[in-house]
Amino acid sequence: MNQPLRKLTAIVIVMFLMLIGALTYIHFFQAPSLNADSRNVRTIYQEYGTDRGNIVVAGEPIADSVPAKGQYKFQRTYADGPLYAPITGYFSVAYNSLTGLERSQNTLLSGSDSSLITQRIQELITGKQPRGGSVALTINPAVQKAAMDALDGRTGAVVAIEPTTGKILALVSSPSFDPNKLASHTFATAEEAWNAYQADEQQPLLNRAIGGDLYPPGSTFKIVTASAMLESGLTPDSMVDAPTSYTLPGTNTQIYNAVGVCGDGSGKATLRTALVLSCNTTFAAGGVAVGAEKLIEKAKQYGFGQDLDIGLPTTASRFPQPADKASLAMDSFGQKDVQASPLQMAMIAAAVANHGTLMKPYLVDQTLTADLAVVSQTNPTVFSQPISRTTADQLTSMMKDVVSHTPSAAVSGVNTAGKTGTAENAGDDHAWYIGFEAAEKSRIAVAVFVEHGGFGSVTAAPIAAQVIQAATS
């Protein structure tokens, strides 16, 4: 064989080996990511050829599949679509996309998850139509509906947690959207809904409950600062600085209390009084005295800066290293650089309600086969121990006094504890409230956020009261 022919043969062999290598890499190594890619039209075609499993709340499907005519064999439908849309998300063939639990639980719902291997073998042997598995949620339908009804169309969010287990009882974002429209097999219908949602200034596709956007928590963050102050050696009855105004360290800038005079006007008050009256000056000075490192660590123990995998993608709340003591002072009462989600603030309330133990929040209670046999059960697990039981009891006592001072937060026949928040913002102030049933075994902790809602005591607290009432009735 002459030299040119040998070179050509070598090149052909190398090219052949490269082709085999590329095909092997794509089929064996890239296959999972390619199948998961929302742009993969073949995946969507395959998904719509499967009787997709249900998403279930209290034994009733809130998302299921029904037979359909045309190239797609099944149509995804959503009961009470807008009520549960922040949880279910949508499954859209028109836009070749999945969101929410439809995305995070896709392999189970589509029937391709390895946990369903026995079911898949049985379907193969019997020739039955492939079916997906189902997902049973922790949501309490009465609490979910009460939260949505109480928001009454206002822009905001509610998250409710069972403190002793971490079960998420309600997760509401308002305004919501109708996933049925986006799941339509008629492209024109889906496109019209999509364009309307995208053009809506209130961003109904944004899940305000768990992130995407974060918000200054305002005075609800004072529970974190109060935790650090109590664990530095103070008690609820300790006298603390409570001046009418406070000069931020290293500046000539003064901050003031929303109530004006804090306590008796002497410049001193008990920590209990400072929390009840929500004195900014006390917690600004208190945060500076505790120090940035200890306050940041306390926030982290409550969940700030950490991955909060609840079965849906979440945005970590932020408490960055303050640039200086002036920034720390502002951060200490929930302004400046502190940013939080309603989920995060509900976790703070839940930790206090559960005597200092923060349980890991979760949304998926069980995964099931198509025949509703249990595949997996989520067991409650401890997320952290941000405060001692003594500190939790002290905070509960102080937060019960907050409710006594805030009639709009009271729940008839139920002992409750809470904290209002009014967060300054570029536009109108945001309204916050966090609270819980004050009992040995608390049934609910809740966070309410109303965007541009003004005073927390006026707007957010009554919403929380209705949600707590629904959980304890």
**Residues in the chain, how many?**
473
Distances (CA, A) of 251 to 125, 322, 327: 77, 15, 11
Tell me, rounded to whole angstroms, the distance of Cα 175 from its chain centroid.
16
* 238 a catalytic residue: no
| Two tokens, residue 292 | 């940035």
Q: Is 300 exposed, middle or buried (0-12, 13-18, 19+ CB in 10 A)?
A: middle
Strands 254-256 and 364-368: unpaired
Torsion angle of C-alpha atoms 143, 174, 161, 374, degrees rounded to 10: 80
Phi-psi region at 382: left, alpha or beta (left = phi > 0; alpha = psi -120 to 50): beta
**Selected catalytic residue, list 173, 176, 219, 341:** 219
d(CA 316, CA 310): 12
Q: Is 60 exposed, middle or buried (0-12, 13-18, 19+ CB in 10 A)?
A: exposed
DSSP reduced 3-state for 86:
helix
Torsion sign over Cα 150, 343, 394, 247: negative
Distances (CA, A) of 77 to 85, 246, 412: 11, 56, 38
Please say whether the beta carbons of 316 and 107 come within 8 A. no
d(CA 158, CA 449): 6
Phi-psi region at 439: left, alpha or beta (left = phi > 0; alpha = psi -120 to 50): beta
Q: What is the CA radius of gyration of the chain?
A: 26
CA atoms within 13 A on the CB side of 271: 27
Give the residue carrying structure tokens 């410049």. 267
d(CA 455, CA 431): 5
Q: Return the DSSP state at 140.
A: -
| Two tokens, residue 393 | 């009891």
| Two tokens, residue 463 | 């919403």
Q: Supply angle C-alpha 131, 137, 138, rounded to 5.
A: 165
Distances (CA, A) of 392 to 110, 223, 272, 387, 436: 44, 10, 14, 6, 12
Beta bridge partners of 239: 270
Please say whether the beta carbons of 341 and 156 come within 8 A. no
Q: Which residues are catalytic?
A: 219
